Amino acid sequence: MTKTKKILAGAMAALMMTSALAGCGSTDSANGSSVQPASSKEGIENKTYNIGVCQLVQHDALDAATKGFQDKLTELLGEGNVNFDVQNAQGDSANCTTICNQFVAGNVDLIMANATPALQAAYTATDTIPVLGTSVTHYGTALDIKDWKGYSESNVSGTSDLAPLDEQAKIISELFPDAKNIGVLYCSAEANSKFQIDTITPYLTDANYEVKEYTFSDSNDIAAVVTTACDECDVLYIPTDNTAASNTGIIDNIAAPKNVPIVCGEEGICTGCGVATLSISYYDLGVKTAEMAYDVLANGADISKMEIGYAPVTKKYDKARAEALGITIPDDYVAISDSTETADEGE
């Protein structure tokens, strides 16, 4: 990413200002953080922070991450001391660019970019305003940083929704030891999905599975690709993939009648079409992102050295699908319907 591109992107912002997309906010509180609230920080209560939130698309996981972020940052800065301008790009990367340029033109105090295309748009739009991503799998891949150190050395940091992929592979081995062919299904347009597949495949091959890749370019060809994958494989694996997350109904309608189980990279996709997952709470991921935002805004933390944050992981399963497929689930898995956490997804 060149500095020239960022300067040009910033200059274009004024030309791209049109009627703003509808925004929304939240003032509910979330508890459980060790970060000191703003009410005890002298002078912070006298400032109002303007936060731009660019969310790629509406679905359970990204919605939960945005809510967790709003709830926690409102608690930390104090109600009335923070304004959120939440914009939804409707799944269009070009809209992410427009939204982020609007935020830059409006001189917001911080941009929260929810999902990889939103992060990439914010990173291109500004090299001065702090940018925190969430629901992003791997920041080095997303930002095209070859020598990734765990922090960006730029105005960007955030939280990752990546659950350990070696542990994801172990779930497949644990539940389906007799399977022969594992189909890995993802959107070829999502770089972080490709990263996950490239990472998990060696773990699966080491477990003596034959791994076949099945890619779709967008929602238009997903049905045909899933049909082929189900006809050729014993089990499917879907990573944290935004296109898949938005089309779980299509996937389930094909896989369920064929009795092909699906292991998923996160809970939202699992709820829609899967049988098991190693999952995170996207609400908690948003809370973690808010704590990082507070450190930047109120404590002056150096975002360029701020390491990427993560949320705890839990083994979960969909009880109805497990029963329908006759799969015995070990005792250390939590039924999604029994969980108190918000349904997840993201990249």
Question: How does pLDDT run along the chain (347 residues), one tens digit per residue?
Answer: 444 444 444 444 433 433 333 333 333 333 334 454 544 445 555 789 999 999 999 988 899 999 999 999 999 999 999 999 999 999 999 999 999 999 999 999 999 999 999 999 999 999 999 999 999 988 999 999 988 999 999 999 999 988 889 999 999 999 999 999 999 999 999 888 999 999 999 999 999 999 999 999 988 999 999 999 999 999 999 999 989 999 999 999 999 999 999 999 988 899 999 999 998 889 999 999 999 999 999 999 999 999 999 888 899 999 999 999 999 999 999 999 754 333 333 44
**What pLDDT is attached to residue 3?**
44
**What pLDDT is attached to residue 311?**
84
**What pLDDT is attached to residue 14?**
38
> What's the CA gap between 95 and 83, in Å, rounded?
21
For residue 128, CA distances in Å to 9, 148, 156, 161 come to: 13, 20, 9, 25
| Cα 131 off chain centre by | 15
DSSP state of 138: -
**What pLDDT is attached to residue 243?**
92
User: What element of type H or E holds 66?
Assistant: helix 60-77
**What pLDDT is attached to residue 32?**
38
For residue 319, CA distances in Å to 187, 271, 274 come to: 27, 10, 10
> What's the CA gap between 200 and 183, in Å, rounded?
12
Closest C-alpha to 292, from 35, 80, 32:
35
> What's the CA gap between 282 and 279, in Å, rounded?
9
3-state secondary structure of 344: coil
Q: How many helices (H) and strands (E) does the chain have?
A: 13, 12
Q: What is the CA radius of gyration of the chain?
A: 20
Q: Are 172 and 203 in contact (CB under 8 A)?
A: no
What domains are there in the chain, each with its CATH number? Answer: 3-162+282-305 (3.40.50.2300), 165-279+313-338 (3.40.50.2300)
Helix, strand, coil fractions of the chain, as percent rounded to 5: 45, 20, 40
**What pLDDT is attached to residue 178?**
95
